[in-house]
Amino acid sequence: MTPSLLPKDLAKINLFKRRTVMIWVILALSMVGLIVRLVYLQVITSPDLLEKARRQQMFTMRPFIPRRTITDRKGAVLALDRPVYTLFAHPHLYKKKPEEIAEKLAPILRRPADKLLSVLTRDTTSTQVEYWLSEEKADLIFSLGLDGLDLVQQRHRLYPQQDLAAELLGYVNVDHRGQAGIELSQEKLLERTDQAPSVAQDGNGKLIPNRIPAGMLQSDRTSLQMTIDSRIQRTARQILKQQMVKFGAKRGSVIVMDARDGGLLSLVTEPTYDPNRYYESDVKLFKNWAVSDLYEPGSTFKPLNVAIALEAGAIQPDTVFNDEGALTIGGWPVANFDYDQVGAVGSLSISQILERSSNVGMVHIIQRMKPSVYYGWLERIGLGDMSGIDLPAETSSTLKPQEQFIEYVIEPATASFGQGFSLTPIQMVQLQGILASGGKLLTPHVVKGLINDEGEEYYQPKLPTPRQVISPATAQRVVEMMTNVVEKGTGLPARIPGYRIAGKTGTAQKASTTGGGYINAKITSFVGIFPSKEPRYVVLAVIDEPVGADAFGSTVAAPIVKTVIEDIIVSEGIPPSHPEEVISKIPILPEQSASPSPQDVKPSPNTSPSAAPTPSRDRSNSPIPASTPPRDRT
């Protein structure tokens, strides 16, 4: 017989059962909750949590992202970025004596240890010890393992050619922002768009190799290529400096433009500066006066006026004018530069007017047109506008108001020989390019585009479509006339035997910058178009305020253009168009067998050595003309 349980015992058993059931219920509910939570975490919020975990593992690197390198048209480096370091010292973090630190740094920094010690012991939390340290020096300092020293990486712009193309390149400031030249105008092209990469790291802060993003080490390797030729640029600067010193000139500029597309092969201004040390130079030098300052071109503008008159039908190539030597226009005297010496000249053809640089002849040509028609043509070729060059701070040319130009007869008369209006040297090259390019108005530019490591074109800026302003036939006729200027006129000093150069001299009075009238100074210039047949190059030299009675466009500027063209001939391997002129300069030596050696020649007893015959010199073949060419003083 089973003993019966007491009520007290039954109560305990029931309580135990209830507790057991409750525990199981709690466990079951907990399991359900865990399952729900796991489902929530693993299924619903899994993407968000994975992204959060990834972000915790990733850190953003701050790599050295250089500004684009700048090269010339042949790949020579003109500007590039390099990493440099600034060394800071934190005295409160030193674990070695300052004297010991100074001794270790002295040979690396090439500074006396006692000088370094005075810097390292300054009473401050942080002090700059040295800046612009190379990577090599930074590595040496880092390898010392000295506490309290900190190396901060920065970017430094280097111009390896120094002042070769400073007026074109410009410079960057301490914030690495362009302040002049294409460093300023092409800021967006020069700054790279690379984003700082993010990489994964483990718990110890080390990179996880299989988590490195693809292409991390690849970056934008394009460079900005200019149209400039460093060789021509160097030659132009050297000869410009030489002539400026010779004639004590205030400043000068030389520009070489490709007549096919408007690309500049050279643009030089003097004086200039070294962009590596721009802070040591006068701020006035940072302005490229070849694109910013105006001048009156003088007689170099005469060929353009002839082209206008031909195109307008006012004259024909065989038209002849009577050159009186001097005349009065609206009460104002106008005379040729040589009127005091030769007086009236008489009949001159259009070509002869350019050869002699006749002011009176040019006045007669322009008088064949109505002032309003002439003014319209001046506007059509671009006077009053800017050239559109891709350099900063360009100034537009100036032209008198149309009402004034039409009302006063002296205005078109003075404009006929290149005075009474102003333009920049770069626009003068652009306008002469009309004649060299077959009548098209080109846009001068110095940026060719972006290229990759293989030299392949990556990007090319879009230029305005060349505008036809005169006919090719008219342009070629004027170029032929300008060729006579160099062959037998005022441009003779620019002549190169075997080659044909079209050119024009100019010597203009300088206009006052404070008001009307002119000052007692002049600006000399010469423009050359080469070769005369199928022109490709336009070369302009402008020299401001040369000193001396012999300072004219023919003596100061023409030799500069000649030297530059000679360099182009050599560098481009251009053969002579008239080789017979070159051959005639080469002395013909007799056959070796027919020529006795010096040892075989014995003077007779009655003949002294000084009486021995000497080779004759053919002065007709000398490149220097026997007579001084006429000088263009207009």
Give catalytic residues, as residue numbers: 299
Residue 237 CB partners (closer than 8 Å, separation 6+): 164, 254, 268, 270, 272
Cβ neighbour number for residue 103 with a 10 Å cutoff: 13
> Ramachandran region of residue 499, left (φ > 0), alpha (ψ -120 to 50) or beta?
beta
Please tell me the distance from the alpha carbon of residue 497 to that of residue 577, in angstroms, as a whole number: 10
The candidate with the shortest Cα–Cα distance to 294, out of 462, 128, 421, is 421
| Rg, C-alpha atoms of the chain | 39
Please tell me the distance from the alpha carbon of residue 71 to that of residue 501, in angstroms, as a whole number: 30
Residues pairing with 153 in the sheet: 85
What backbone torsions phi and psi does residue 287 show, to the nearest 5 degrees? -90, 125
Residue 56 CB partners (closer than 8 Å, separation 6+): none
Q: What is the full DSSP assignment across 389-456? A: -SSSS----B---HHHHHH-THHHHHHHTT-SSBB-HHHHHHHHHHHHTTSEE---BSEEEEE-TTS-
Amino acid, single-letter form, for residue 615:
P
Cβ neighbour number for residue 22 with a 10 Å cutoff: 10
3-state secondary structure of 35: helix
Residues in the chain: 634
- Count Cβ atoms within 10 A of the Cβ of residue 18 and give its class: 0-12 exposed, 13-18 middle, 19 or more buried: exposed
